[in-house]
Amino acid sequence: MNAQAHQAGQLTKAADHTSSRALASLLLAAGVSALVVMADHLMEPWAERHEVAAWLALWGVAVIAIAVLRGITRVLARKAMAGLDGWSAHVAKRRADERLWHMAQTDDRLMADLQSALDRSGETVAKDVVDLSQRRAARILRDRLYYI
């Protein structure tokens, strides 16, 4: 079982690395092409008389853009992938909680189990019924569990 979990973890890391590199490549291509188009636009009047020099200058701009933008695009891609992974995990957790809540509303045993787990999750033991009901009301408001 542990070997399977380790292998799954390695596959996940490889997939994250691959998607991050793919995004970095796309960002690099977009940045280089934008710089080459801008340089071509700026050199257009001059390039009519000096075709070879303009061609070499555009290649120089492309190579320099690749060298400069390579590190920047990798960092941006890693940050973007980390942000998207966090957002995706948050959405998945929220959907799972909503599904569990909808199931609990139709199943009395599951609702009782959830309520007892939520009541046990308090830091200290409730002193009386008022304290317990105040905690429950605060938890309902905090978690937006508006039900009757």
> What's the pLDDT tens digit per position in 63-118?
999 999 999 999 999 999 999 999 999 899 889 888 887 887 888 887 777 777 76
Rg (CA), the chain: 28
Residue 37 is predicted with a pLDDT of: 92
Q: What is the DSSP string of 43-99?
A: HHHHHTT-HHHHHHHHHHHHHHHHHHHHHHHHHHHHHHHHHHHHHHHHHHHHHHHHH
Give the number of C-alpha atoms closer than 13 A to the C-alpha of residue 132, restricted to the C-beta side: 10
Pick from 12-26, 30-44, 48-62: least confident: 12-26
pLDDT higher for 14 or 139? Answer: 139
CB atoms within 10 A of CB 102: 10
Give the number of C-alpha atoms closer than 13 A to the C-alpha of residue 51, restricted to the C-beta side: 0
pTM of structure: 0.54
- Tell me the per-residue pLDDT of 20-35, one tens digit each, with 9 for 90 and over: 889 999 999 999 999 9
Give the whole-angstrom CA distance, residue 128 versus residue 134.
10
Residue 1 is predicted with a pLDDT of: 47
> For residue 13, which of 78, 96, 88 has the smallest C-alpha distance?
78
User: For the chain, what percent of residues have pLDDT higher than 90?
Assistant: 30
pLDDT band at 124 (very low <50, low <70, confident <90, very high): low
Residue 75 is predicted with a pLDDT of: 92
**Are 126 and 135 contacting, i.e. CB atoms less than 8 angstroms apart?**
yes
Q: Is the model's pLDDT at 4 over the cut of 60?
A: no
Mean pLDDT, range 5-31, rounded to an integer: 73
